[in-house]
Amino acid sequence: MHKRTQTVVARTKQIFSKGNMFNWGIIVILLLSTWCITMLGFYTFKYVQIKNNASEIAFSAEELNFEEYEKTEGSYVSSSDFTHFYLYNLNQFVDTVTLDFEETLAVDINTKVYYILKDGQYFNESDVKFKNLKNHITDNWISINEEVVHMRIDVGSKEGAFSLESVTINSDKLNIYKNKANALQWIVRLGTLVIIACTLVLLKRKYPLERIFVVLGLLIGLGYCFAMTPYSIPDESHHYQRTYQMSNIITLNQLPLLEEHHNNYGFVGHSNVASGYVRVFYDLKEVFVSENTTTNIDSLQYYIPKYSLSVFLMEIARIPPAIGVTLARVLGLNFSYVFLLGRMTNLLFYIGFVYLALKRLPQFRTAIFIVALLPMSMHQAASFSSDAFINAIAFLLFSYLLCAIYESGLLKKKDYGIIFVCVLLLSTIKVIYALVAIMFILVKKDRFLSIKSYYVKHALLYGGCISMVVFTNIERFFRLAGSSQTDRGYYSVGYVFSYPGKTIEVFWKTIESQLGTYLRNSFGLTLSGLTLYLPEFIYTLLLAIVFLSCLSIQSNGWTANKRGRNVMMTIVMGVGVSAMMAMFLGWTPEGSNVIEGVQGRYFIPILPVLLFVVRNRTVILTKNIQSFLVVSMTLIQCYVLIKVVEYTIQH
């Protein structure tokens, strides 16, 4: 008996030995993932069964009991703040309520659907679904998903009339759509399993971190490319227009301007909407531009580039997505292909430059990896936003600066050249991030051939930086300096000098009230046009992962000394104040108590700098947890992609 016990103990130790723990980790994660998807499938199947028992009921406008509406020539206008109509004695499961209009809405109309779940209850604010019906639509639906006894619908406003044709409960047409939506959700869930499996295989085979980033960046980035509907990412319509202009420059205006490439039917700016999925789905089936498309130069004048050299340099970040747009236009592909190829080439550029940044760094690699893979970072990388270019260049610059500061021996010409080019690019595209170049003063003098070489290279770097800033922004500086509040409606440079105390007060109130929001948004707690909210626990997990990623696993690892910390904190605060000042002068109405327009994504390029300040020799890791952090980040991104698709299907 004693010998058998020893055998069991020995085998248990062998199974759970250090060499086999990773295998068990893979098994546990796969089992958990399979269990989660199975449970989701079970509840989805159960929910579909309930919905299949819900019958379609259609009500014409004449059958509805309107209260407090004025009817003129078939249109309804709210005559008070209590306009509504009732649907009594439904007594069934209500999946959706569809409103069909005879004509497209001229203005946005607020709609509320109140419902009673049991007899004897009253309509109240706890059981209500709200939706803002957008103009230029002829139908819209609201998801209820409840067993309903009675229903009241408040629709309309005093500003606009609407011509309601019918109200449909549980539309069969919508059920077909929802079946496709369920299929899409299953595809996304299975796709996330593939991403998780790839991550585990790459870690098991001990691939370098930069190669793992390439694979995960491609898989997760493509997920964002398709999950985020066109124009839903902040200012993406503007970025697409600018990219199309750059495409025209690349092709010397030899390709026709097609109206189909600018038809935004089905999409809503700054919002991820289900109709966008439908539009992309049909476009991908059609592939090529339709034969009926027209070339209307008058309506597409905006897309004809009129760049000066300075403006062209400022728009150089448009080149990566413009390559994809140009390729799609040459092949004669339709809008969705143009849009997706533009996003993909922007993503490839981002992944390529982050790969170079990770490959160059011997330390602090995990922190750059995690920051580059944050939901907001990938969200911007998989879009037409110039943030993809800016973030990638900023990460590359920071990596080479760290190596220049902490490595020994003479500074290589290649390293200095890359630092120089990155500084010039940031000075040209987004001047505030050029402040990262201040870190170059931390490079030791013994890394240069001589004192003369030390001063010459510093002078070249900062002289080139200042020259590019002046060349590309001088016109804007003079315009801002010469304008007044009354000219533009915003705060001005003159106001800053005339009322420095009030200006500081506005800045302080902004920092006090918005700092937490900026940090959350820089991680990606709100996506799309800041309209798609993720659960708060995602931010907590990301905060923990980001903090752990910046810690050293050895007491003699790279850390900033007192001078280095002061310089880096100066850079962080300088970029923060500069971003706020830009929005203060260019976006904030005079009299506002806080600065408007500042977004968390503006601070992604300096997150590595801030994390390196946090890194120290007191709080260090006793074990290498890089694999754990990579897997954790992968799981979070998979969860985010699932939530994005679920959110979009419901809107």
Tell me the per-residue pLDDT of 382-406, one tens digit each, with 9 for 90 and over: 999 999 999 999 999 999 999 999 9
- Residue 293's SS3 state is coil
d(CA 546, CA 382): 21
pLDDT tens for 551-588 read 988 767 888 999 999 999 999 999 999 999 989 988 88
Is residue 68 within 8 A of residue 82, CB to CB? The reply is yes
More confident of the two residues 428 and 264:
428
pLDDT at 6 over 80: no
Q: How far is CA 499 from CA 485, 502, 634, in A?
A: 13, 5, 49
Least confident of 63-72, 147-156, 209-218, 275-284: 63-72
CA 634 to chain CA mean position, Å? 16
pLDDT > 70? residue 44: no
129 strand-pairing partners: 113
By the 10 Å C-beta count (0-12 exposed, 13-18 middle, 19+ buried), 284 is classed as middle
Rounded average pLDDT over 191-218: 90
Residue type, 517: T
Report the SS3 class of residue 483. Answer: coil
Q: What pLDDT score was predicted for residue 614? A: 93
Closest CA to 369 of 348, 349, 399: 399
pLDDT in tens, 133-154: 655 555 577 777 778 888 888 7
SS3 28: helix
Q: How many residues does the chain have?
A: 651
For residues 219 and 214, give the distance between their C-alpha atoms in angstroms, rounded to a whole number: 9
Residues 264-280, mean pLDDT to the nearest whole number = 78
Distance between CA atoms of 457 and 461, rounded to whole angstroms? 6
| Amino acid in position 106 | A
**75 DSSP β-pair partners:** 72
Q: Residue 620 has which token pair?
A: 């260090």
The span from the CA of 536 to the CA of 424, in Å, is 38
The arithmetic mean of pLDDT across residues 595-623, rounded, is 91
In the predicted structure, residue 463 carries a pLDDT above the cut 60: yes
**C-beta of residue 270 within 8 angstroms of C-beta of residue 230:** no
The b-or-e profile of 316-333 (16+ CB within 10 A means b, else e) is: ebbbbbbbbbbbbbeeeb
One-letter amino acid for residue 624 of the chain: N
- Name the nearest CA neighbour of 533 among 517, 509, 510: 517
Q: Is 231 left (phi over 0), alpha (psi -120 to 50) or beta?
A: left
Q: Tell me the torsion sign for CA atoms 100, 275, 190, 33.
A: negative
Q: According to the per-residue pLDDT averaged within each range, which of 62-76, 79-93, 254-268 is highest?
A: 254-268
Taking CA atoms, 219 is separated from 146, 224, 378, in Å, by 37, 9, 11
Q: How confident is the model at residue 212 (pLDDT cuts 50, 70, 90)?
A: very high
Mean pLDDT of the residues in the chain: 82
Q: What is the pLDDT of residues 508-550, one digit of tens each?
A: 999 999 999 999 999 988 888 778 888 899 999 999 999 999 9
Residue 127 has pLDDT above 70, yes or no: no
What's the pLDDT score for residue 530? 77
Q: Can you tell me the mean pLDDT for 77-88?
A: 69
Could you give phi then psi for residue 57, rounded to 5 degrees? -130, 125
What value does the mean pLDDT take over residues 96-123?
73
pLDDT the model gives residue 432: 92
- Residue, of 150 and 640, whose pLDDT is higher: 640
Q: Would you state the pLDDT for residue 144?
A: 74
Rounded average pLDDT over 47-68: 66
User: How far is residue 412's CA from residue 396's CA, in Å, rounded to a whole number?
Assistant: 16
Share above pLDDT 70 across residues of the chain, in percent, rounded to a whole number: 76
Name the residue with higher pLDDT: 366 or 266: 366
Does pLDDT of 226 surpass 60? yes
Beta partners for residue 333, in sequence order: 288
The pLDDT of residue 4? 63
Burial 353-364 (b: 16+ CB within 10 A, else e): bbbbbbebbebb
pLDDT at position 469 is: 87
**Cα separation of 16 and 30, whole Å?**
18
Closest to 552 in 3D by CA, of 629, 622, 606, 607:
622
For residue 552 the two structure tokens come to 């050293």
Output 169 or 21, whichever has higher pLDDT: 169
Task: Say if residues 346 and 384 touch (Cβ distance below 8 Å).
Answer: yes
Predicted pLDDT at 421 = 95
How far apart (Å, rounded) are the C-alpha atoms in residues 336 and 260?
Answer: 10
Q: What is the rounded average pLDDT of the residues 437-463?
A: 94
pLDDT band at 485 (very low <50, low <70, confident <90, very high): very low
Please tell me what DSSP assigns to residue 443: S
Return the ∠ at Cα 21 (arms to 554 and 538), rounded to 5°.
70
Please say if the pLDDT value at position 202 is more than 70.
yes
Return d(Cα 524, Cα 545) in angstroms, integer.
14
Q: What is the predicted pLDDT for the residue at 648?
A: 82
DSSP helix/strand/coil, 241: helix
Q: Reply yes or no on whether the pLDDT at 50 is more than 60.
A: no
DSSP state of 246: H
Residue type, 622: T
Q: Are 117 and 139 in contact (CB under 8 A)?
A: no
Residue 486 has a pLDDT of 46
Asked if residues 144 and 115 have their Cβ atoms less than 8 Å apart, the reply is: yes
pLDDT digits (tens, 9 = 90+) for 16-31: 454 555 565 566 566 6
- Rounded to the nearest 10 degrees, the angle between the axes of helix 172-204 and helix 274-286 is 80
DSSP state of 157: B
Report which of residues 587 and 369 the model is more confident about. Answer: 369
pLDDT above 60 (res 49): no
Average pLDDT over every residue of 462-479: 81
Q: What is the DSSP letter of 134?
A: P
Tell me the three-class secondary structure of 538-600, residue by residue. HHHHHHHHHHHHCCCCCCCCCCCCHHHHHHHHHHHHHHHHHHHHHHHHHCCECCCCCCCCCCH
Confidence of residue 312 (pLDDT cuts 50, 70, 90): confident
